[in-house]
Amino acid sequence: MRVTTAYCRHRAWWSLLLIVVSAAGLSASPAPTQKPRSGNSRTQVIGYFTENGAKSGRYTVKDVATSCAAALLTTLDYAFGRVDGDQCQIADRETALDHAYGAAESVDGTADPVDANRLRGAFHQLQELKRRYPKLKIVISFGGWGQSQGFPSAVQPDHLREFVRSCVHTFIEGYFAPGIHAPGIFDGIDIDWEYPVEGGVTSGRPDDTKNFTAMAAEFRRQLDAIRPGLLLTAALPAEAKLYKNFELKKISRTMNDLSIMAYDLHWNSEPMSNLHSPLFHDPADPSKAPMDIRFGDYAVQGFLQAGVPARKIVLGVPFYGKGWTGVKDINHGLYQPATGPTQDWGGYRALKALPDADRQYSSTAVTCTLWSGGNFWSYDCPEALRAKMGYIRSHHLGGVMFWELSQDTDDVELLRALTGR
């Protein structure tokens, strides 16, 4: 924790210096950054921040700064905006725009303005975060599990141009509400459509595949018209039967990164405990086809074979666990009958706090398991994340993405494992 805090202070000092000298028309050496991988681009470290966490006060934008996460991330994805009525919308205006943060809750230590039609809320805090960490990219994400029902209609040819225009106008140009104009907070758009054609909470349509490709091209066109360099990314499934519904090579031409959600590969609704985020196949896994190909490397190889450049592939990892209950302590609980799911998702901070737990790291599957009192969890521990970063570098992938920031420990143990800090 001492090293992490010192690093945060060092970065914050450089950020402040850069702002001061820039205002004075001077120049300064750049702030220290992570060592770039081969080529000109930096290894991406993309973390999701949830609006629900901000709303409840459980994890706010200020926590991103004080935990040191902001100094370690390359990109923060704000989850989520809403697609409804063939338009992009702010999902929760009170949280995003209206909530007035006091000085003690604010990133920069000053209270939000109280005047009418002034930017407040989480979006104002993001604005303050960017001023403190000018290298950090902030992206608005749309969709998510159970919130993607608006896409099939919005991307229909008759709706597409105006749909994309609404996203760019509201979130990139910053016309958030009448009287509230604050451009420059968001550096791009992330599409988390779960899922085109099939597999989501709500059914898609057969033409979703080609419409998704057209949507990516239209977003690229309109973003470039505003400013070249704005980000366009997507979170895509790791299951082969789902990612076949994307024209991967085509969309990779117009998108900066394609993140593979290499988690939730086994659900705790299954009657046998299993691994929800393995990187490689475990030969001991009794799963039958097609469940036996649910591991991260299989998806990465599938994306590569489809023609996606390695530098545009981002490997997704979880900061939470999947839990089964009613599990006997045989084989440390792995591949055992279960009576149902545990009552919570088990963020890493909660899993680490469990007393007298039987924790196991599998170097074969590259993931971790935990058995405690009849409950079994599959999750990614620091050892697994360090190994996955080694995989990312050896395969020259674009970087890593994770869901989500609030589920790490207070001293961002998992994020530090990803970045080597």
Catalytic residues: 194
Give me the torsion for CA of 384, 72, 76, 27, rounded to 10°.
-160
Name residue 268's amino acid: N
Q: Is 221 helix (H, G, I), strand (E, B) or coil?
A: helix
Helix (H) or strand (E) holding 223: helix 208-226
Reduce the DSSP state of residue 41 to 3 states and report it: coil
Nearest 10 degrees: Cα torsion 23, 26, 31, 37: 110
3-state SS class at 321: coil
| 39: Cβ contacts below 8 Å, ≥ 6 apart | 311
- Candidates 246, 252, 192, 245; CA nearest to 220 is 252
Identify the residue whose tokens are 């140009």: 173
At 330, which amino acid appears? I
Cβ(317)–Cβ(263) under 8 Å? yes
Other C-beta atoms within 10 Å of 135: how many?
Answer: 17
Kindly state the helix (H) or strand (E) to which residue 301 belongs, with its residue range. helix 296-305
Contact 98, 180 (CB under 8 A): no
Are 379 and 408 a contacting pair, CB within 8 Å? no
Orientation of helix 160-167 relative to helix 208-226, angle to 10°? 50
d(CA 421, CA 418): 8
Cα–Cα distance, 415 to 69 (Å, whole number): 7
User: How far is the C-alpha of 219 from the C-alpha of 225, rounded, in Å?
Assistant: 10
Write the single-letter amino acid at 190.
Answer: D
The total number of residues written for the chain in this structure: 421
Main-chain dihedrals φ then ψ at residue 362, nearest 5 degrees:
-100, 110
